[in-house]
Amino acid sequence: MTTVCRHQLVLLLIAGFVFFTNLGGYALFDEDEPKNAVCGREMFERGDWIVPTFNAQLRTDKPVLIYWLMQISFHLFGVSEFSSRLGSSLLAVGTTLLTYHLGRKLYSPPVGLLAGIILCTSVMFSAVGRSVTPDSVLIFCLTLAFTIYVWTVAQQRGGQFSGISANQEVKRLADLLPKTWLASLAMYSAMGLAILAKGPIGVLLPCTIIGLLLLISQREIELTEGRIFATVGPWWRRSLGSVTQVLRLSRIIEAASAMRVLFGAVVVLTIALPWYLAVGWQTDGVWLQGFLGDHNLARFLKAKEHHSGPVFYYVIAIFWGSLPWSVFLPLSLWTLKNRLEKTNIDHHSDCFVACWAGVWFAFFSYSSTKLPNYVLPMYPALALLTARTLHAWQMSSASQGMISFRHSCRGLSAIGMLLMVSIPIASSFLLPGEEWLLLIGAIPVMGGAFAYAAAERERRSQAIGILSVSAVALAISITGIGLASVGSHQDSPKLAAAARQAAGTMEVQLAAINYFSPNLVFYWKHPVQRLRNPKEMTQFFNENPRGFVVTRSDKLEMLGEQLSSLAEVARHRRFLGNYDLVLLRRSTSVALHNSSTTD
């Protein structure tokens, strides 16, 4: 068996455990999972492949690719939590393999293997890879586009993206671009799918990343040939001069031409435009206006749904999201900076990965709306940087990097201890009975300690192996076991089940007042009517005498005189809340009287 096959089998095994352990064993989590799952289910039930709806109303939040994947899964396995999440998990496994192949063409097979392990065991990526969201789909499409790009250039340069020797310089932009139209077609096709996954960002940012790499390389060519000279003086003047030289208009035009952007636009539009036109036609333009205007441009310019944050928001988000490997990110970024300042055999690979991570991070740092999942497409780049640094440490001399590695291991153990202290405290307030989840924190504690001990004995390969095993154990413990325990406390599945049991064989309606949960729609399996005031509730019960209403226990007095005619069917604690949710119906005598009057 070849090394490449062996590495891929290892990654398939690891990623399979991470993304499929107990995949359908717990309820969907509000808000995004049930919104997307209900949308896919409603399209599936209508046999509609064009117009997304949630709760029988038009949904303009996301494009259609995630819903297409769910419809295929529903046809094969029926509607369930497992089938809703299946597409995301399969593509997360695919992204793991693509990251491996990126790593072995950018650096080496061992770096690719470690990068794949790092990616699929990063906490945020492993959780999103098991979720009913378009993020896993977007990341796969973008990573596929970059893989096609890197592989094509690598084949043109002797098998490696940066060339076969440190002396192999880039003489022209074409050296860092696919030479054939077929390769460009494949790359832009992947970007077209990314637009169907999450919108224009699927082509704008990857083109910016590749274009920036070309601009930087063109400046280096001109510096080498003496056509321009580096700016001298203070650091700010040198930086400003470099930026000015890189972003010169003539260079941008040359790079765009070399990238065949017009051809790329045709390819992208051929793939994505038919559905956008179809959904615009069937909704009289309402979907396009809502998605492109409100959920793209407006989200960038103004914080939506209170999802705002400072410019350093994503520094914190990435640190927690890429655990347990984030303790090595400061070292990885520092060594990347040092490598970029001098010529080495991996120079163009380092530049590409730096552009990938840097462009994505900068763009969303200045976006007004901020969510941790927005920067997930840069996680493969971070995995590659971290893997490159750890592999270099593993192969280096006895003293090089030892202090930094030991500090990182100490940091990992300290984070584990923090989790062991904070989880029981948080659980006692929000999830009574789940204090045992503190054991999850023991995994990074032991992983950091054992890796530190192995490094002290100069067993560097063993130290990396220990970190990898502990990362796999942590990812599975959190996503496959921890989420199942946390999910068992969710209220919507219990309320929906109580309503179905009380309804028996009758077809009844469910409504909500002073409260609404997307999960309630998924588990009720029918639209849930949203009531705005007691008057609408009265009208609802007049039209549906045997119907049910869900409300908050601390809002019961707002129902006024209507409360005396209602009977409590079930009550459950609000998930992660400090109040109960109450399932109500009209008392039997009132319901029968209204039913006979209606008849």
Kindly report, residue by residue over 34-63, the tens digit of the pLDDT: 999 999 999 999 999 999 999 999 999 899
Residue 469 · residue 477 · CB < 8 Å: no
Report whether pLDDT(85) > 50: yes
pLDDT band at 565 (very low <50, low <70, confident <90, very high): confident
Q: Which two tokens stand for residue 40?
A: 């896919």
Cβ-in-10-Å burial (0-12, 13-18, 19+) of 323 comes to buried
Sign of CA dihedral 439, 444, 449, 453: positive
Q: Rounded mean pLDDT of 524-545?
A: 90
pLDDT above 70 for 599? no
Residue 593 has pLDDT above 50, yes or no: no
Distance CA 55, CA 38 (A): 7
Read off the pLDDT of residues 242-251 as tens digits, 9 standing for 90 and up: 677 677 777 8
Does 142 score more than 90 pLDDT? yes
- What Cα–Cα distance (Å) separates residue 210 from each residue in 145, 336, 369, 379? 11, 18, 25, 17
- Confidence check: pLDDT of 479 > 70: yes
Give me 89's structure tokens.
């998990």
CA distance 428 to 83: 33
In whole angstroms, give the CA distance from residue 237 to residue 492.
58
Q: Answer yes or no: is pLDDT of 329 > 90.
A: yes
Cβ atoms of 68 and 141 within 8 Å: the answer is: no
- Bridge partners (DSSP) listed for residue 57: 54
Beta bridge partners of 511: 529, 549
Q: CB within 8 A of 316, min separation 6: which ones?
A: none
Task: State the number of CA atoms in the 13 A half-sphere of 519 facing the CB.
Answer: 20
β-strand pairing of 566-573 with 580-586? antiparallel
User: Of 61-70, 94-103, 253-262, 395-404, where does mean pLDDT reach its minimum?
Assistant: 395-404
Residue 483's SS3 state is: helix
Q: Predicted confidence band at 238 (pLDDT cuts at 50, 70, 90)?
A: low
Whole-number percent of the chain with pLDDT over 70: 90
What six digits make up the tokens of 286? 């309402």
Could you tell me which residues come within 8 angstroms of residue 489 by beta carbon, excluding any fewer than 6 positions away? 431, 434, 573, 575, 576
pLDDT band at residue 401 under the 50/70/90 scheme? low
Residue 496, judged by CB atoms within 10 A of its CB (0-12, 13-18, 19+), counts as: buried
Distance, CA of 594 to CA of 596 (rounded, Å): 5
Please report the pLDDT score of residue 298 as a whole number: 67
Structure tokens at 492: 């919507």
Give DSSP secondary structure letters for 406-437.
HHHHHHHHHHHHHHHHHHHHHHHHHSTT-GGG
Q: Which residues pair with 54 in a beta bridge?
A: 57
pLDDT of residue 592: 45
Burial readout 178-206 (b: 16 or more C-beta within 10 A, e: otherwise): beeeebbbbbbbbbbbbbbbbbbbbbebb
* pLDDT value at residue 230: 67
Q: 291-316, pLDDT tens digit by residue?
A: 888 777 766 767 666 677 788 899 99
Q: Any idea which residue has 């490094």 for tokens?
A: 455
Q: Does residue 400 have a pLDDT over 90?
A: no
Model confidence pLDDT, tens digit, residues 146-175:
999 999 999 988 888 887 654 455 666 677
pLDDT band at 426 (very low <50, low <70, confident <90, very high): confident
Query: Distance (Å, rounded) from C-alpha 6 to C-alpha 321?
Result: 29
Kindly write down the DSSP assignment for every residue of 211-261, as one continuous string.
HHHHHHHHHHHHHHHTSS----SSHHHHHHHHHHHHT-HHHHHHHHHHTTH
d(CA 408, CA 391): 15
Q: Give the SS3 label for residue 158.
A: coil
Amino acid at 137: V
Q: Are 591 and 585 in contact (CB under 8 A)?
A: yes
- Two tokens at 364? 């969303």
What per-residue confidence (pLDDT) applies to 591?
Answer: 47
Closest listed residue to residue 94, CA positions, set 141, 133, 28: 141
pLDDT higher than threshold 50 for residue 597:
no
* pLDDT class of 588 with cuts at 50, 70, 90: low
The confidence score (pLDDT) of residue 74 equals 96
529-531/510-513 β-pairing: parallel
pLDDT higher than 70, residue 112: yes
pLDDT, position 596: 47
Residue range 552-567: mean pLDDT, rounded: 84
**Residue 171 burial by Cβ neighbours in a 10 Å radius (0-12, 13-18, 19+):** exposed
Q: Given pLDDT bands bounded at 50, 70 and 90, which one contains residue 399?
A: low
Nearest Cα residue to 133 out of 319, 373, 308: 373
Query: What average pLDDT score do residues 126-150 get?
Result: 95
DSSP symbol at 526: S
Residue 199 confidence (pLDDT) above 80: yes
pLDDT at 547 over 70: yes
Question: Has residue 598 got a pLDDT over 50?
Answer: no
Using DSSP bridges, classify how beta strands 510-513 and 548-552 pair: parallel, antiparallel or unpaired: parallel
Strand arrangement of the beta sheet that strand 548-552 belongs to: 529-531, 510-513, 548-552, 580-586, 566-573
Task: Summarize the confidence of residues 316-330 as an average pLDDT.
Answer: 94
Tell me, what's the pLDDT at 165?
A: 53
Confidence of residue 427 (pLDDT cuts 50, 70, 90): confident
Using pLDDT thresholds of 50, 70 and 90, give the confidence band for residue 86: very high
Find, among 125, 134, 66, 69, the residue nearest to 93 by Cα: 125
How confident is the prediction for the chain on average, in pLDDT? 88
